[in-house]
Amino acid sequence: MFILAPSILAADFKKLGEQVETVSKAGAEYIHIDVMDGEFVPSISFGMPVIASIRSCTDKIFDVHMMVDEPGRYINDIRKAGADLICVHQEACLHLDRTIGQIRETGAKAAVALNPATPLHVLDYILPELDMVLLMSVNPGFGGQKFIPYTIQKIQALRKIIEDRGLHTDIQIDGGVTASNVGQLIEAGANIFVAGSAVYKGDAAANVKEFLDVFQRYEK
């Protein structure tokens, strides 16, 4: 099953709740929420109050991507605000196993994100504990960047590792994802796709449908 996760970082903040509802009704299964601290990445986005304020707008999965140094400090509060899936960066965690354990203890799904140049072997021991791996296909911190081509090989390699180990881990891609290249990402082995401007630029409902039409062709 292929899942679209529209990133609200690209939404119009003046009507954020409405825009979350629009993509939810159009068929998006996840709502991707980027939490940035101005330390791990240069930008500052939003945190618990914003997540809590839009939680009532949809029953879809809140997929919270924490681009935050030592995210373990905030896991419980992020979960209480409404996160269903919490994703932390391997590069931001001094004790990654401990942080994943914290996420598990809250009852949320646990995921780890890797920056483009971070090798897959850093997940060797923690992979069985994860529901999802997020492969960044741009350098984190800013929307609207171009897709990094070598991500395709990274997806293929991770999918082989997952299958060889008999796991059922989701692979999410974040950065430069469009309806034009998502088919290539599916073929490489990814199944969850974060899209920001590709969804929210123009008619969001129509853009979601375009992605879902591609998914349907590959699900047959």
Catalytic residues: 34, 174
DSSP character at residue 111:
E
Handedness of CA 10, 14, 16, 22 (dihedral sign): negative
Are the C-beta atoms of 173 and 137 separated by less than 8 Å?
yes
| Strand spans (E) along 18-108 | 30-36, 61-67, 85-89
Instruction: Count other Cβ atoms within 10 Å, centred on residue 146.
Output: 9
Are the C-beta atoms of 100 and 126 separated by less than 8 Å?
yes
Q: Which two tokens stand for residue 115?
A: 């920056």
Q: How far is residue 92's CA from residue 47's CA, in Å, rounded to a whole number?
A: 17
Q: Which two tokens stand for residue 71?
A: 């995210």
- Could you tell me the CA-to-CA distances from 78 to 95, 108, 114, 132 in Å, in that order? 19, 10, 20, 18
Find the DSSP H helices in 70-174: 75-81, 96-106, 151-164
